[in-house]
Structure 1
């Protein structure tokens, strides 16, 4: 049964790790009654910032529309960490949201982030901060991961209090550890619960 409350899981994934994390974020959202989930991605951009992908993706989640972002109850945004920042395709999408900023459509809605990098100190936390900044400008409420999640303490792979993360030892490594899966699910559940509380 569908309702108007949904968490938008919005991401860009180049090698598959972020897409895999999005599935576990969605699993966490699905643990919360009265909340649906929409998984959406953004298209690649060319070096001249024009859309470099077909209107419909060849595989995976559909591309996100501004209306889907405007109407969400909460946002979980994911990107690989590129030099400590979100990937250009996701930034390009966010840069198109001025009309939502002008009309205040995202004010007081909860948001969180998730990321992946190929080294332990590959900029995961800084990437989460880069995603946080424009969302704070939109008036969104950032929701991190509290340390009540024991996997955040025991993990030797991904996981931060700023949002879920994945340590991909190679570009083809999309397998999440059990701790990373648990933290993604915890983040999805928490953002859904916060959306209901903030309503």
Structure 2
């Protein structure tokens, strides 16, 4: 079966929660899954003062190890409608992988969170997907087979381009059952796709 990396950056823990749900879905499809995060670039004293969640269990990823996976699912909170600087800095170091075509044909996906319903979820997903496509990856989003994203009965995340959640302006709102179901569904679909391509 395929080997999947869930690669994330999470300031306050929302994306960490979504990453673990993505991993659950990928494991349900029989994949071997690692959950790793990119390095924090904010000085520790500033991160502590900003109440960043610094006690995350996931190990720190290295750029070199990306080539070891059949699928890479990337998640980060939005920064003004695009990926966080921490994730961008990580990918900025991956020129060698691009130059050698090390990720060509591998499966990719994206997930994110925003403070509000209209806080740039889709543009953030596209900012991640753009990077993955430059590496030659095949993108799997979150199709409407996850019908929860169509709900108008409550605030829900999700888009055809990837799983999402709405954190609220103060970060107090956690991913909902529907958001986590979407994350698991996307993880499962990506793993199934990778299983078919790399069986």
Q: Tell me the TM-score normalized by structure 1.
A: 0.88
Query: Residue 111 of structure 1 aligns with which residue?
Result: 108
Q: In the alignment, is residue 154 of structure 1 matched against residue 151 of structure 2?
A: yes
For the residues of structure 2 that align with 1:148 and 1:58, how far apart are their CA atoms? 34
SS, match of residue 30 in structure 1: helix
The equivalences for 1:92-131 within 5 A come to 92-131=89-128
Q: What does the per-residue CA deviation read over 1:159-184, in whole Å, with 9 as the maximum and x for residues that have no partner?
A: 11100000112443252111101100
Shift of the alpha carbon at 1:46? 4.5
| CA distance 1:46–1:168, shift in 2 (3 Å) | closer
Q: What does the per-residue CA deviation read over 1:72-110, in whole Å, with 9 as the maximum and x for residues that have no partner?
A: 110110000110000001000001111111111100111
Q: 1:142 aligned to 139, 153, 158, which one? A: 139
Q: 2:163 touches 2:183 (CA, 8 Å); kept in 1?
A: yes
What is the root-mean-square deviation of aligned Cα atoms in Å?
1.7
Q: 2:166 touches 2:173 (CA, 8 Å); kept in 1?
A: no
Q: 1:11 touches 1:77 (CA, 8 Å); kept in 2?
A: yes
Q: What does the per-residue CA deviation read over 1:98-155, in whole Å, with 9 as the maximum and x for residues that have no partner?
A: 1111111100111000000011100010000000111111100111111122112226
For the residues of structure 2 that align with 1:70 and 1:180, how far apart are their CA atoms? 29
Deviates more, 1:76-85 or 1:38-47: 38-47
Q: In the alignment, is residue 39 of structure 1 matched against residue 35 of structure 2?
A: yes
For the residues of structure 2 that align with 1:101 and 1:9, how far apart are their CA atoms? 19
| Unaligned 5+ runs, structure 2 | 48-53
Q: 1:117 touches 1:124 (CA, 8 Å); kept in 2?
A: yes
Q: What does the per-residue CA deviation read over 1:40-78, in whole Å, with 9 as the maximum and x for residues that have no partner?
A: 00112249xxxx9xxxx7532110012321111101100
Q: 1:73 touches 1:109 (CA, 8 Å); kept in 2?
A: yes
Q: How many residues align?
A: 187
SS, match of residue 181 in structure 1: helix
For the residues of structure 2 that align with 1:111 and 1:7, how far apart are their CA atoms? 10
For the residues of structure 1 that align with 2:56 and 2:71, how far apart are their CA atoms? 25
